[in-house]
Structure 1
Amino acid sequence: MVPHLVTALTGPINELEQRVLESMPAIERWFRLEWMEHTPPFYTSVDIRNAGYKLAPVDTNLFPGGFNNLTEPMLPLAIQAAMAAIEKICPEAKNLLLIPENHTRNSFYLTNVKQLVRIFSSAGLNVRLGSLDPAITEPTELQLPDGSSLTYEPLVRSPRRLGLKDFDPCTVLLNNDLSSGLPKILENLNEQYLLPPLHAGWAVRRKTNHFHSYEEVAKKFAKLLGMDPWLINPMYSHCGQVDWTEGTGLDCVQTNVDALLTKIRRKHKEYGINEKPFVVVKADNGTYGMGVMTVRDAKELDEVNRRTRNKMDVVKDGQQVTEVIIQEGVPTYERVNEAVAEPVVYMIDRYVVGGFYRMHAERGIDENLNAPGASFVPLAFAESSHLPRPGEKPGVSAPNRFYMYGVIGRLAMLAASYELEATDPEAEVYE
């Protein structure tokens, strides 16, 4: 199943697909060389938008929570990638401590945790769940809709190691994005691998840093293919001192929105795109689709109502939004069963392991789909082969389309690798 693109503007993307397929050996070699220099994040998911004239990542998550949406045929790939990742980090590993979010009532999230346990158990590890939730003071069983259960246990900290009672892991894997801050219990684990590292958590991570790194990666990749990096890169700007409740700092947002809309119009004119440009203003430390608004005209910010200000002011775990990224809006022209859809690509280590379409029947092509009411359809490869098929007409072959999504997903993952290196507080700085 290839979701249909409801637009005549498929020219540039079909050309891009053709160029990507023709350059496949060069692309794979380029990625291989990049991974010799940079360490991929342990796991990553990337939200991608296909506008027909542009294909770009709009969000990169380093604590992906939708593994429950991967289908059975995708699991062998995920298990192999997990094996490769663990072998690199801790070849003799026996025990893996997985620290999930504190959402003990969110059955979708718990099903994701169950899937992660299954993947890493199948990769040859004893997996147990340790909770950062202070309310978990003894092993606590959580029921899942299918009748199975998960056991969350209280963490036990020694001076240099973290574990559970009678359980000493080589590796601690976070599936908790640390929005509410960096817990002391996770600091100074000098003898264990903590993945992703603490500075990947939303308490300190910023989308602006990620898209700065992505811009660098997109330029390198575009040079390899002899193309305009704009076709795969959403332009952006940043405002650092915004108070939504007081209404201060909104002049910075307004100025940047106006400047970015002007840049987008220029690009649309260059490519003959007859689309009304828009931008998306997001919390720079945002997660779970919170703190997001679509703006089509800078004047709209003159009359931001109280409800919108409240929505923009606070994100997950009550964190206040004082910094925003203003990102070029990439409409999605993909449809699944008449609902607006966007592909989400999942990776473990440097391998694409699968993905799905996030779809929302009540949202428009220029709106955030990561919102209540979203549903998910697996990226259903029409055949079992995940290999692209050079020579087929662009825009009609599922393997070719998904290979291209995988390339964009890996570019965003590589950008996350650059970003984590650049923001590592323990990295040595050379003058």
Structure 2
Amino acid sequence: DLSGGVPELLQNLEQNLIPPLHAGWFVRRKSQHFAAYDKVVASFAKLLDIDPWLLNPYFDTASGIDFHARVGEDQLADKVDAMLKKIAAKYAEYGIEHAPFVIVKADAGTYGMGIMSVKSADEVRDLNRKTRNKMSVIKEGVEVSEVMIQEGVYTFENINDAVAEPVVYMMDHFVIGGFYRVHTSRGVDENLNAPGMQFVPLAFEKPCTLPDCAGAPDAPPNRFYAYGVVARLALLAAGMELQENDPLNA
């Protein structure tokens, strides 16, 4: 995933690489993807005349962060507080009776590193040493100075009494299947991409290429179809993101 930079083997190549080098985490940022997704969902929601929030969680960014030195702590806490208030307003609008939470994560990198779940701004100001250490570095020992603050979405899917979240696979622009990421020791408001996770096939009981208009909104074909809609929107956003950030277009 090129978190630590581009290896010499891949530098100055004449051939094309897919995905391109600028999709690597040494330059890519999660917030770039969600900015592109924001545009895609805004257009999609306007076509359907629905609230874009139903498909698109709030997000924000904070830079100049040093968790060890406690630099940027107040800025991050203020942004967390502002987002929690925005989420609370949406929860009130839709009658959702749960406590809002946000996920603070490194703006670059993978493997579920540099992530924490927060329900109040005070939690950001009162991080213990263990959490500071966890948030300070990601894969390859890269130090974290930029974070994304993302609206937390409760995970209400369960498999064998374990919290499960769906992951959708695509080939070209087609949804071809997926799996559940399952964690027996994580809660509905926690990151499941962590040691101890398991993977369970997401078996489609019926074809999910089209919704079942006669079925309930939460019927399996409709639920899986909705996952596929979000996946296709995200794929379109990823294409836009790579195009917008292509150094050849600069």
Question: Same fold by TM (over 0.5)?
Answer: yes
Aligned-residue CA RMSD (Å) = 1.3
* Aligned-partner residue type, residue 38 of structure 2: E
Instruction: State the secondary structure of the residue aligned to 2:187.
Output: coil
1:405 is aligned, of 221, 227, 240, to 227
1:219 paired to 2:34: no
Q: CA–CA distance in 2 between the matches of 1:210 and 1:351?
A: 20
Identity %: 56
1:376 paired to 2:199: yes
* Aligned-partner residue type, residue 17 of structure 2: L
Q: CA–CA distance in 2 between the matches of 1:308 and 1:205?
A: 25
Q: CA–CA distance in 2 between the matches of 1:389 and 1:311?
A: 42
Residues 29-58 of structure 1: per-residue CA shift (max 9 Å, x gap): xxxxxxxxxxxxxxxxxxxxxxxxxxxxxx
- Indicate the residue corresponding to 1:23 in structure 2: none
TM-score by length of 1: 0.56
- Indicate the residue corresponding to 1:283 in structure 2: 106
- Indicate the residue corresponding to 1:41 in structure 2: none
Q: CA–CA distance in 2 between the matches of 1:286 and 1:366?
A: 21
* Aligned-partner residue type, residue 421 of structure 1: Q
Give the 4+ runs in structure 1 shifted more than 2 A.
187-190, 385-392, 394-400
Structure 2 spans left out of the alignment, 5+ residues:
none
Instruction: State the secondary structure of the residue aligned to 2:28.
Output: coil
Structure 1 spans left out of the alignment, 5+ residues:
1-176
1:392 paired to 2:218: no
- Indicate the residue corresponding to 1:111 in structure 2: none
CA contact (8 A) 2:91 2:97 kept: yes
1:416 is displaced (CA, Å) by 0.8
2:57 is aligned, of 214, 227, 234, to 234
Q: CA–CA distance in 1 between the matches of 2:140 and 2:191?
A: 20
1:396 is displaced (CA, Å) by 4.8
Instruction: State the secondary structure of the residue aligned to 1:244.
Output: coil
1:306 paired to 2:161: no
1:180 paired to 2:4: yes
- Indicate the residue corresponding to 2:248 in structure 1: 426
1:389 is displaced (CA, Å) by 4.4
1:344 is aligned, of 164, 167, 181, to 167
Instruction: State the secondary structure of the residue aligned to 1:223.
Output: helix
* Aligned-partner residue type, residue 119 of structure 2: R
Residues 46-84 of structure 1: per-residue CA shift (max 9 Å, x gap): xxxxxxxxxxxxxxxxxxxxxxxxxxxxxxxxxxxxxxx
Instruction: State the secondary structure of the residue aligned to 1:213.
Output: helix
- Indicate the residue corresponding to 1:64 in structure 2: none
1:334 paired to 2:162: no
Instruction: State the secondary structure of the residue aligned to 1:203.
Output: coil
1:298 is displaced (CA, Å) by 0.1
- Indicate the residue corresponding to 1:203 in structure 2: 26
Q: CA–CA distance in 1 between the matches of 2:176 and 2:12?
A: 32
* Aligned-partner residue type, residue 391 of structure 1: C
TM-score by length of 2: 0.96
Count of matched residue positions in the alignment of Structure 1 and Structure 2: 250
Residues 179-223 of structure 1: per-residue CA shift (max 9 Å, x gap): 111123212323x22010101001111011111111111101111
- Indicate the residue corresponding to 1:325 in structure 2: 148
Q: CA–CA distance in 1 between the matches of 2:5 and 2:123?
A: 33
* Higher share of residues assigned strand: 1
CA contact (8 A) 2:74 2:125 kept: no
